[in-house]
Amino acid sequence: MKQRGIRIIKLTLAMLLALAVSPSLAGNAKKLLRQGNDALKAEKYDEALDAYGKAALEAPESPSLIYNEGIVWYKQGDFAKARELFAKAGANARQLRVPNRAMEARCEQAVGNCWFREGQRQQDSDLKKAVEAFERSIAAYDRALNIDPKNQVTLQNRKSARMLLKKIMNELRALQKALQEQQKQQEELARELAELAERQEQAAGQSQAAAESAATTTTPQEKFVEMQGNQRAISADTAALTEKFQAMTPPVSPGQDQNSLPDSSPLDDILEEMTQAQEAQRQAQPPLDRNAPAQAEPLQKQAAQHLRNALDKMKQQQQQQQQQQQQEQEGQGEQQEQQKSDDGESEEEKQSAQDDESDESEGEQQEQQAAREVDNDEARDILEQEKTDKQRRQNNTNRKYRPVPKDW
């Protein structure tokens, strides 16, 4: 699944660092913090971490210091480490003698951004993990908005996370429907396979009966012709059923990493049994054509056994899929309940989301691949630009969304 072109407002590094130097730090710690900030802006991450580490010796609980260290890990793509530091910085800001609520809100927003990026990372591999990440992102944005309800960046980021979450949930439902259709197809194939195995067993029984009666009676030629034609029909039906199995796509669970699929699947095992059944049938035909049922009978039994083996493996696969599907439905029910609680938005937000969704269908057809960066000197114009962009979206439904940028 390709990354959708849904724009998330980003904070420039200059804006982040400008508010992250706490006046409560001692002089040397403040100097080291600024050195780390300069290194961070220059993308010298090791130098930045070194400076922050030295500053931490003097101010280990400084929210600003911990927060900026989190930015370093965020910039390097270690979102788990960054989340841990942002959360710690927010807790420390809340526990100050005079709580720094603005810093706490900024930390919650940063946690939301980390989860947002993690959700994007999981979109191409594990939809269920992507759903969890976007839900956590929304929860973090909500916590930030509880502190700063009018923060436009957080509001826009939460809207983007909501839209991506809704899109993924729709994809999960579509995938679930496809799995259900495939399950119906498998049930039909299992029925055909069971009938085919029974026919092959009956054909083997006829050959055995003909071989046993050969010592006392003469089998009419018409009976041999019937047995020969019957086996040819069974062989042809086995080949046709094998083609149906070959046309099937191994099912992929919504929570399965598509980049790490196993080398073999239950379908491969079924096809192997079908192939061996066909080979035994091929070898059984010449003896039947020579009116030698005693030679054909063990080969027909082998073919029947391979067909039974294929049926058993298919039933095992169906049981596993049903158990997995039940687990996924339970998990999806929990996600839907969570989303209902998240959907308590104002009428204005709902209308805005509907406007964005109408643009989204057009944007999917024309999505851009390269992320667009915002220069540092444009930081003060971000919110005004967003207002302009929103007006343009309302006036032009064919406008494309900007892709989510790499940085804040």
40, 102: one domain = yes
73, 140: one domain = yes
Assess whether pLDDT exceeds 90 at residue 119.
yes
Does some domain include residue 224?
Answer: yes
183, 329: one domain = yes
- Is 229 buried (19+), middle (13-18) or exposed (0-12) by CB count in 10 A? exposed
Q: Which residue has the higher pLDDT, 141 or 211?
A: 141
Q: Judge whether 302 and 279 are in contact, CB under 8 Å.
A: no
What does the alpha-carbon distance between residue 114 and residue 293 come to, in Å, rounded to a whole number? 72
52, 98: one domain = yes
Does some domain include residue 193?
Answer: yes
Which pLDDT score, from 0 to 100, does residue 338 have? 54
Question: Distances in Å between the alpha carbon of 173 and those of 45, 126, 180, 261?
Answer: 42, 14, 11, 21
Closest C-alpha among 281, 272, 270, 276 to residue 200: 281
305, 377: one domain = no
**CATH (domain of 38):** 1.25.40.10
Average the pLDDT over 249-278 and give the result.
Answer: 69
Lowest mean pLDDT among 277-281, 293-297, 374-378: 374-378
Average the pLDDT over 267-288 and give the result.
Answer: 93
Does some domain include residue 2?
Answer: no
34, 112: one domain = yes
**CATH (domain of 203):** 1.20.120
Per DSSP, 380 falls in state G
Q: How many other C-beta atoms lie within 10 A of the C-beta of residue 369?
A: 8
Assign 389 a pLDDT band (cuts: 50, 70, 90). very low
Which pLDDT score, from 0 to 100, does residue 335 have? 53
244, 302: one domain = yes
Which pLDDT score, from 0 to 100, does residue 113 have? 96
**For the chain, what is the mean pLDDT?**
76
226, 288: one domain = yes
Q: What are the pLDDT digits (tens) for 19-33?
A: 444 545 557 888 888
- Please tell me the total count of domains within the chain: 2
- Structural domain span for residue 48: 13-150+369-387
Assign 248 a pLDDT band (cuts: 50, 70, 90). confident
Q: Judge whether 22 and 55 are in contact, CB under 8 Å.
A: no
Does some domain include residue 298?
Answer: yes
Q: What are the pLDDT digits (tens) for 201-229?
A: 999 999 999 888 876 777 788 898 999 99
240, 143: one domain = no
99, 211: one domain = no
193, 325: one domain = yes
Which pLDDT score, from 0 to 100, does residue 401 have? 30
Does some domain include residue 350?
Answer: no
18, 144: one domain = yes
Which pLDDT score, from 0 to 100, does residue 230 have? 95
Does some domain include residue 361?
Answer: no
Does some domain include residue 138?
Answer: yes
106 sits in which H/E element: helix 101-122
